[in-house]
Amino acid sequence: MKIPFNRPFIAGKELFYISQAVLEGRLAGDGRFTKNCQKWIEENLKCKKVLLTHSCTAALEMAAVLSEIDAGDEVIMPSFTFVSTANAFVMRGGKPVFVDIRSDTLNIDENIIEAAITEKTKVIVPVHYAGEPCEMEKISELAKKHKLLVIEDAAQGMFAGYKGRFLGTIGDIGCLSFHETKNVISGEGGAILINNDSLIERAEIIREKGTNRSKFFRGQVDKYTWIDVGSSYLPSELIGAFLFAQLENSEKVTAERVRIYNKYYDMLKPLEEKGYIRLPYSRNSSNGHIFYILTESLEERTELISFLKEQDILAVFHYVPLHSSPAGRKFGRVHGEMVNTDNAGNKLLRLPLFYEITDEMIEKVADSVFAFYRKYTKVR
Ligand SMILES: *Cc1c(COP(=O)(O)O)cnc(C)c1O
């Protein structure tokens, strides 16, 4: 029994909707499936304006344009994140300022942010790691005090919440991902959530190659023309059709991922109690996006990965902290110590977690982790 790390899945009418889109003769973006997805997300996440994009990376790039980043402007973010969080701003000439994460949630440490703010700071980017919410109250307060924008990287935060609100709907802008490794998928895919009214009109323009095409189609202007910078950030209807079926089934999918998360948690708890590993911060994940364990050291993690591989189990780690990557060193700067970031970068291991993983597979993974520690502690 081979256990992959991730496996994309069909949750309902994906293929039927794709064939409908084809038969209706609408393959370009912003047809009825794209609009249905946007409306669905607006209603279910309680959000003012949602625009589908072809990735979360694209949503972050749009957010960087919307925040009017100029050369040298600083953007405060964690270093323990995916490259797109930083790249989107670097492409506009911005400078990522990396601050450490908290040792418990692995999210940006809200208590260091203020000291990292300078005259040049324009944006704070909280990344909700594994769907665990950042301390948005404190972050929003700081942003208000220093007149900064808050752009949530909620790529992993679909349906996770913070104080009664959904992640991605709290900052000025939120960015979601529907990449095949996320909870709700469309292969590649994403959405930008615009929670600040003053940014909505410009967001539509940037997404439509810098034109007022959206306004034209609504009959609000009589000419469709180039009026601002922009690019092609909208996905094809085929993506919208696939995604709509996923959204319709997203409650069931999320509940199943949470069940898998809880099963891992319960099975591995004894190893944490004996002091061998650390389990994720939350006993109850709100969206079951990632299940990770923290090992004692980089060497131990490397050995555990090969041990699992021998049992046909693919477990993976991320991230190489951005502040220590070649591009991160070139384009960004570090504020303060990076102890917790380096720790997570060296010791975190993600276990297989996907919608169709079976109980038998979960048990094999957990048993294998146990077997490793029985063996490992003996040889140590
Ligand atoms: C997956 C991910 C992204 C990028 O999403 P894409 O849709 O693949 O562009 C950005 N940030 C974080 C934190 C992610 O996990």
Position 266 scores a pLDDT of 97
Give the global pTM.
Answer: 0.97
Q: What sign does the dihedral 127-129-130-131 (CA atoms) show?
A: negative
Q: Please, what is the average pLDDT of the chain?
A: 97
Q: What is the mean pLDDT of residues 21-34?
A: 96
Domains of the chain: 14-249 (3.40.640.10), 251-379 (3.90.1150.10)
Q: What is the pLDDT of residues 284-322, one digit of tens each?
A: 888 999 999 999 999 999 999 999 999 999 999 999 999
Closest CA to 176 of 41, 79, 86: 41
Position 189 scores a pLDDT of 98
Position 285 scores a pLDDT of 83
Position 284 scores a pLDDT of 83
Pairing of strands 95-99, 74-78: parallel
Closest CA to 85 of 106, 102, 61: 61
Which residue is it, tokens 């590993």?
A: 277
Question: What's the rounded Cα separation, in Å, for the pair 122 and 149?
Answer: 6
Q: Give 379's pLDDT tier (boundaries 50, 70, 90).
A: low
Q: What is the mean pLDDT of residues 174-193?
A: 98
Q: What is the pLDDT of residues 318-358, one digit of tens each?
A: 999 999 999 999 999 999 999 999 999 999 999 999 999 99
Q: What is the mean pLDDT of residues 220-236?
A: 95
Q: What is the mean pLDDT of residues 205-213?
A: 96
Which atom of ligand 1 is nearest the CA belonging to 177?
7
Verify whether ligand 1 is closer than 6 Å to residue 53 (CB atom).
no
CB 243 within 8 A of CB 41: no
CB 173 within 8 A of CB 122: no
Position 262 scores a pLDDT of 97
Which atom of ligand 1 is nearest the CA belonging to 178?
7
Position 378 scores a pLDDT of 64
Question: Who's near 350: CB < 8 A, 6+ residues apart?
Answer: 5, 290, 291, 292, 315, 316, 317, 318
Position 286 scores a pLDDT of 87
Question: What's the rounded Cα separation, in Å, for the pair 142 and 119?
Answer: 14
In this predicted structure, the answer to whether residue 78 has a pLDDT above a threshold of 80 is: yes
Verify whether ligand 1 is closer than 6 Å to residue 82 (CB atom).
yes
Question: What's the rounded Cα separation, in Å, for the pair 106 and 156?
Answer: 13
CA of residue 125 to ligand 1 center, whole Å: 13
Verify whether ligand 1 is closer than 6 Å to residue 85 (CB atom).
yes
CA of residue 155 to ligand 1 center, whole Å: 5
Furthest-apart CA atoms within the chain: distance in Å: 77
Burial class (CB in 10 A: 0-12, 13-18, 19+), 180: middle
Residues making up the chain, counted from first to last: 380
Q: Please spell the DSSP secondary structure of 344-366, one letter per residue.
A: HHHHEEEPP--TT--HHHHHHHH
CA of residue 55 to ligand 1 center, whole Å: 8
CB 184 within 8 A of CB 158: yes
In this predicted structure, the answer to whether residue 380 has a pLDDT above a threshold of 60 is: no
For the chain, what percent of residues have pLDDT higher than 90?
A: 95
Give alpha helix (H) positions in 128-228. 136-145, 200-207, 213-217
One-letter amino acid identity for 12? Answer: G
